Amino acid sequence: MSIALYRKYRPQAFGDVTNQNHIKLTLQNEIESDKIGHAYLFCGPRGTGKTTLARIFSKTVNCLDKKNNNEPCNGCDSCNEINDGKSMDIIEIDAASHTGVDNVRENIISNARFTPTSRKYKVFIIDEVHMLSISAFNALLKILEEPPQYVIFILATTEIHKVPNTIISRCQRFDFKKIIFNELVDRLRWICTQEGVSVDEKVLSIIAKTANGCVRDAESLLEQILSLGDKKITFEQAELIIPTNNFEILYQLFEYIVKNQTKEAIEQINTIVIGGVDPMRFIDDFIEFTRKVLVYKINKQRENLAREVDESILGSLDKVIPGVTELRLSKIIKKFIDSKEQFKQSYIPQLALEIAVVDLTCDVGSAPVAPTVKVEAPNPAPVSTVAEKVVPEPAAVIPDKVETVDEPQKTVQEVASPEPTVDESVKEEVPAPVESDRVESAPVESAPVASGEPSDLLQVWPQIIDKLEKEHYKIYMSIRMSKLISIENNVVLLGFKFALQKNNIDEISNQSDLKAVIKEFTNQDVQIETTLDSTLNQSDFQNGTGSGQSEADSKPKDQVQDLADAFGGEVVEGV
């Protein structure tokens, strides 16, 4: 059976390792000065040489005939045993499959009590150490605090944030970096030379871009291409194996979003999922792609993005980016970060992605349009003069009864009850209205006053709820289950009975949209604060104000009463 390329060409000395010079130099200096630490922590992306350097370091400290530059000789008995995987003193443990405290006690603590069989140091290499349980970490911590002089621990992880600080503080930490594009291409070219195969340079570049700084991924993909069997691999041949360029898919979805093409974006997501792409992985890739676009827009350094993205995509980006603001790009990134949390709770794989796309492409609040009022009156001159002085209000808030001129006097008084906010000069220009004039002008005068007082916010709060229902339904579903507790110093305090609705309003994007809607009606910048109140009940949740019966609830009852009065009857409750 043939050996995989990444195993066949695994570096056997410090000088063979691609990049990571800052780590190699430090380890070699420690070996030369004989100041070797008892615990090392290698962290960084996968396929960057963590386990490889751990083995080389283990081999060098036990080498019987080290070279002058502190490299292992790879010829002595100790080096040969380690290279063949037969050394009893080099113990490799996969923490992903040995997560329990019993595994740590049996494989590490018990073995550490015995001195090396034939070498100077006993080395424990624990791969994916972040997978250990809390109890296992506590057991490991004890021996890290008081290690035997002949024991060296090398912990490797791709997720350093999951390793307890008590473990990190007792190790020498080394951060591995992704391999840069040019060095990765050079290594692939060297492997092709060793294999006696000529591969098109364009193919090597595509492999390096696809690997994204991971040597092992690049070598595995190169091995697939070399399996074609020819001594000369062209781009046309390699296309049969090279995976579809992720950047093309990512850019296509990005373009649909920034152009607000909801239908096309949803279809693109479905195509991605049907094609077998992991939605969670795709979300991560899209966040990273959008971040690169944001950085490109800010610093205008084309060469940085050109290393990873094809020239054709760069040309398309140059046409799209000028019409997209940095704030919009930031909002896209935040929305997809939020979708990762929603993805864990969704039973439909692509649902979180689809919701994020709909929110980004259909959110009217992202480009607010000033509301207008259409008023038709018999006497247009005076009414239009008044309308010019009053803050416009959406037509949806005009009461239905005002359209009928012959309504009773009682209805007219109810509509015109708010104090009209019109300049004195305007009042003098308007002639004394007759009965019908009062009915027609009442809706214009009852528009909300943009003075920013608490009473004004209370007055327009139902209208704010209506607008949220039409344009920000996700916020509306939480606000309708809230109570407006207080308004003080431009701080709006909302009470919630359940944490789910409270957390939804606390999201940065939702807070921003809610503030924008409030400002549209009050002309004031406010701060939104939330609190949990388990004493709230259903009656407190009417229209989000806690004011009891809403206008929507009372209107049918008023109409029934009017009907009963017209026919000389009465309304009997409870029948």
Using one digit for the tens of pLDDT, what is the confidence trace for 329-384? 999 999 999 888 877 777 777 888 888 889 898 864 444 434 444 444 444 444 44
Q: Please give the residue that has the higher pLDDT: either 307 or 166.
A: 166
Percent of the chain's residues with pLDDT above 90: 25
- Longest CA pairwise span in the chain (Å): 114
Residue type, 558: D
Backbone phi and psi for residue 323, each to the nearest 5 degrees, phi listed first:
-90, 5
SS3 call for 526: coil
Helix ranges restricted to H, 300-373: 302-306, 311-320, 326-345, 351-362
**What H or E segment, with its residue span, contains residue 469?**
helix 454-471
* Cross-strand pairs, 155: 41, 126
Contacts of 142-145 with CB under 8 Å at 24 or more apart are 142/109, 143/108, 143/109, 143/112, 144/38, 144/39, 144/170, 144/171, 145/170
Q: Is the pLDDT of residue 445 over 90?
A: no
pLDDT of 574 above 80? no
Nearest to 41 by CA among 168, 228, 143: 168
Q: Kindly report, residue by residue over 408-421, the tens digit of the pLDDT.
A: 444 434 444 444 44
What is the arrangement of strands in the sheet containing 122-127, beginning at the earlier edge strand? 90-94, 122-127, 151-157, 39-43, 172-175
pLDDT digits (tens, 9 = 90+) for 134-164: 999 998 998 898 889 999 999 999 999 999 9
DSSP state of 114: S
Cα–Cα distance measured from residue 439 to residue 416, given in angstroms and rounded to the nearest whole number: 8
- What is the distance between the alpha carbons of residues 559 and 572, in angstroms, rounded to a whole number? 14
Provide the β-strand partners of residue 91.
124
Residue type, 164: P
The CATH H-level superfamily of 454-553 is DnaA, N-terminal domain (3.30.300.180)
Please state which of the four CATH numbers 1.10.15.40, 3.40.50.970, 1.10.8.60, 1.20.120.530 is assigned to the domain occupying 181-238.
1.10.8.60
Amino acid letter, 544: G
Residue with tokens 């794989």: 349
User: Which residues, at least 6 apart from 288, have a Cβ–Cβ distance to it below 8 Å?
Assistant: none
pLDDT at 470: 82
Detail the DSSP E strand segments found in 422-558: 482-488, 491-496, 527-532
Q: Does domain 246-362 have CATH number 1.10.10.10?
A: no
Distance, CA of 258 to CA of 320 (rounded, Å): 8
Query: Average pLDDT for residues 208-231, to the nearest whole number?
Result: 88
Are the C-beta atoms of residues 288 and 212 closer than 8 Å to each other? no
Q: Give the mean pLDDT of 59-65.
A: 91
What residues does each domain of the chain span? 5-175, 181-238, 246-362, 380-445, 454-553
Q: What is the pLDDT of residue 307?
A: 65
Sheet holding 482-488, edge to edge: 482-488, 491-496, 527-532
- Write b or e for each residue in 301-328: b if 16 or more Cβ atoms lie within 10 A of its Cβ, otherwise e: eeeebeebbbeebeebbeeebeebeeeb
Tell me the pLDDT of the chain averaged across its residues: 78
Residues 430/376, Cβ–Cβ less than 8 Å: no
The beta strand positions in 193-338, using DSSP E, are: 198-199, 232-233
* Average pLDDT of the segment spanning 548-556: 43
Fold held by 5-175: Rossmann fold (3.40.50)
Q: Does residue 555 or residue 303 have the better pLDDT?
A: 303
Whose structure tokens read 């944490």? 499
Q: Give the model's confidence band at 566: pLDDT under 50 very low, under 70 low, under 90 confident, else very high.
A: low
